[in-house]
Amino acid sequence: MRILVLGGDGYLGWPTALHLSASGHEVGLVDSFARRGYDTELGATSLVPIVSLEERVEAWRQASGTRLATYIGDLTDPVFTHRTVEAFRPDAIVHFAEQRSAPYSMIDQAHAVYTQMNNVVGTLNVLYAIADVDPSIHLVKLGSMGEYGTPNIDIEEGWLEITHNGRTDRVLYPKRPGSFYHLSKVHDSHNIEFACRAWGLAATDLNQGIVYGQETEETRRRPDLATRFDYDAVFGTVLNRMVVQAVCGHPLTVYGSGGQTRGMLDIRDTVECVRIACEHPARPGEFRVFNQFTEEFSVRGIAALVREAAGDDVAIAMVDNPRVEADEHYYHAEHSGLVELGLEPHLLSDTLFDSLLAIARRHRDNADPSLFDPSVRWRATSSPVGSRQSVLVA
């Protein structure tokens, strides 16, 4: 297949592109380098050094004998988006190209507006490009389990059958997201579902849990194929952050009571889930949803696992929760679709010590402990007057 990966320079986009290429597909990459710009803005860097996209692409050519096509531009530009889809003529588009951090979206008004405009407008442009160039292109979109929030009922895979006043219908599962970032994902899901219903497009929405890890089979081939390892409080996901805190002798920061429970998955399962979705496409007119995670953990439970793996001298610090969320709640989500299509999950118990902790120890001299503690608070708002009005994205 010909597969175009949007956000192909990012934490997940890069290893996904390599995995698809190694699986025999012809792959193109699209990126605006916005993610690298966020590092400049926040004064943060990846724990594991990464090279430029040009160097990465050349390294993959040398390692695999395969060339990756690259397109540099912004999906919020409809002309660029349309021309790129027309030039590459993909069978499938994998869409990672969004601002992915909940804390970043909550910094202030400018960051909230930027996040929603970047994410929602970019996705709309992709939908219009598909409809115009070739409606048979299968869109594989990275959604988020955070779209659902934490309802007091089981979370189904995207859809819910309800009976009300004696009548039954199948509707999109109700969403109650917890940040302006997660709200942008909800808007995406509704826009994509409408495009499938109105235009007959085919789309798979991968509502992904929290990803941990940094290495895949492909990125391990050479150091210059490495993907990012974010550990700061804005972009670093909870497990990656705690592992780096542990090897630096810093207390593991648990927000609130630590009872927040989320679905999680290994980065190797992320790239495999995308491959499976591409090779088993949705039908024309179908908006298909998979909940993409393999295990559920509470934040408190994650801290206990890291402490057990890293050593009993690792401290756990309970800090005030900067977010607006329930500290204790019911959480049970269906996630059978990808397993039924062949996913064989990696479990955290099998990878925490040998992979995550080993990577963090190898690169701990690159860590900046000042980035560990939360700096963004959900209840703090800033008016346009006197607040930062521009967001550095490149």
Name the nearest CA neighbour of 130 among 205, 197, 207, 195. 195
Residue 354 has pLDDT above 90, yes or no: no
pLDDT above 70 covers a percentage of the chain that reads 97
pLDDT tens, position by position, 230-275: 999 999 999 999 999 999 999 999 999 999 999 999 999 999 999 9
Q: How confident is the prediction for the chain on average, in pLDDT?
A: 95
Categorize the per-residue pLDDT at 383 as very low, low, confident or very high, splitting at 50, 70 and 90: low
pLDDT tens, position by position, 89-108: 999 999 999 999 999 999 99
Categorize the per-residue pLDDT at 382 as very low, low, confident or very high, splitting at 50, 70 and 90: low
d(CA 137, CA 223): 34
d(CA 247, CA 353): 12
pLDDT tens, position by position, 324-344: 999 999 999 999 999 999 999
Residue 384 has pLDDT above 80, yes or no: no
Higher pLDDT, 386 or 187: 187
SS3 readout for 19-34: HHHHCCCEEEEEECCH
Distances (CA, A) of 27 to 6, 268, 278, 391: 11, 18, 12, 30
Residue 76 has pLDDT above 70, yes or no: yes
Residue-range domain boundaries for the chain:
2-371
Average pLDDT over residues 300-306: 96
261-266 β-sheet, strand order: 210-212, 261-266, 295-298
Which pairing describes strands 167-172 and 210-212: parallel, antiparallel, or unpaired? unpaired
Average pLDDT over residues 120-133: 98
d(CA 147, CA 149): 6
Q: Is the distance from CB of 63 to CB of 222 less than 8 angstroms?
A: yes
Q: In degrees, to the nearest 5, what angle opens at C-alpha 339 toward C-alphas 268 and 93?
A: 60
Q: What is the CATH number of domain 2-371?
A: 3.40.50.720
- Write out the E strands in 285-329: 287-292, 295-298, 316-319
User: CA quadruple 5, 7, 12, 18: dihedral positive or negative?
Assistant: positive
Q: Which residues of 188-216 are buried (b: 16+ CB within 10 A; e: fewer)?
A: bbebbbebbeeeebbbbbbbbbbbbbbbb
**Residue given tokens 């960051």 in the structure block:** 111
- Give pLDDT, residue 392: 43
d(CA 7, CA 96): 5
